[in-house]
């Protein structure tokens, strides 16, 4: 098993700068109150966050063997996977080689997504970001969305 850690920041937006860096805009609190409930007169109405940014970073131990499979996913308040990605083995191999060449203790992989609008169940709930390395899942972050009642 490859030891790893992961962290996720939920935000309003992620801006890619000309320099190649990312700016995280509007970091969200752990408990977010969504804008009021939809009108009860509208059947099957949903609550939406206007925009949701997800910035997830996985750190792997550079001294360990290269993992065979790395992925990340975001699970919405209804338990469905809303976005998912995996890293190609060639990219992982190069990232490990670069880290070793530069004498870095960790290998970093970044997953980012901006979803708009982001659907929320009427009851609210948890949005969960998960990192998966060789079948081992770790929760990288969670956002509790509270939907006010009418």
Is a pLDDT exceeding 60 seen at residue 140? yes
- pLDDT (mean) for 7-12: 97
pLDDT category, 18, cuts 50, 70, 90? very high
Strands 52-61 and 4-16 come out as: antiparallel
CA distance 24 to 65: 32
**SS3 label, residue 101:** helix
pLDDT in tens, 27-86: 999 999 987 666 566 666 677 888 999 999 999 999 999 999 999 999 999 999 999 999
Cα–Cα nearest to 4, from 124, 88, 84, 95: 95
pLDDT in tens, 84-102: 999 999 999 999 999 999 9
pLDDT at 149: 75
Q: Which domains does the chain have, with CATH numbers?
A: 4-146 (2.60.40)
Angle, alpha carbons 142-58-90 (nearest 5°): 135
CA distance 62 to 95: 9
pLDDT at 1: 46
pLDDT at 111: 96
**SS3 label, residue 94:** helix
pLDDT at 71: 97
pTM of the model: 0.89
pLDDT at 5: 94
């Amino acid at each position: 098993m490859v030891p790893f850690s992961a962290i996720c920041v939920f935000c309003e937006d992620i801006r890619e700068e000309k320099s190649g860096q990312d700016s995280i805009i509007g970091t969200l609190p752990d408990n977010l109150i969504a804008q009021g409930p939809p009108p009860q007169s509208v059947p099957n109405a949903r609550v939406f966050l206007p925009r949701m940014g997800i910035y997830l970073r996985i750190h792997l131990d550079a001294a360990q063997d290269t993992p065979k499979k790395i992925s990340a996913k975001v699970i919405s308040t209804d338990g469905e996977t809303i976005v998912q990605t995996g890293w190609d083995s060639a990219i992982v191999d190069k990232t490990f080689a670069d880290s070793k060449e530069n004498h870095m203790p960790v290998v970093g992989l970044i997953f980012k997504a901006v979803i708009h609008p982001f659907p929320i169940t009427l009851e609210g709930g948890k949005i969960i970001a998960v990192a998966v390395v060789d079948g081992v899942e770790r929760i990288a972050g969670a956002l509790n969305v509270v939907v006010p009642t009418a």
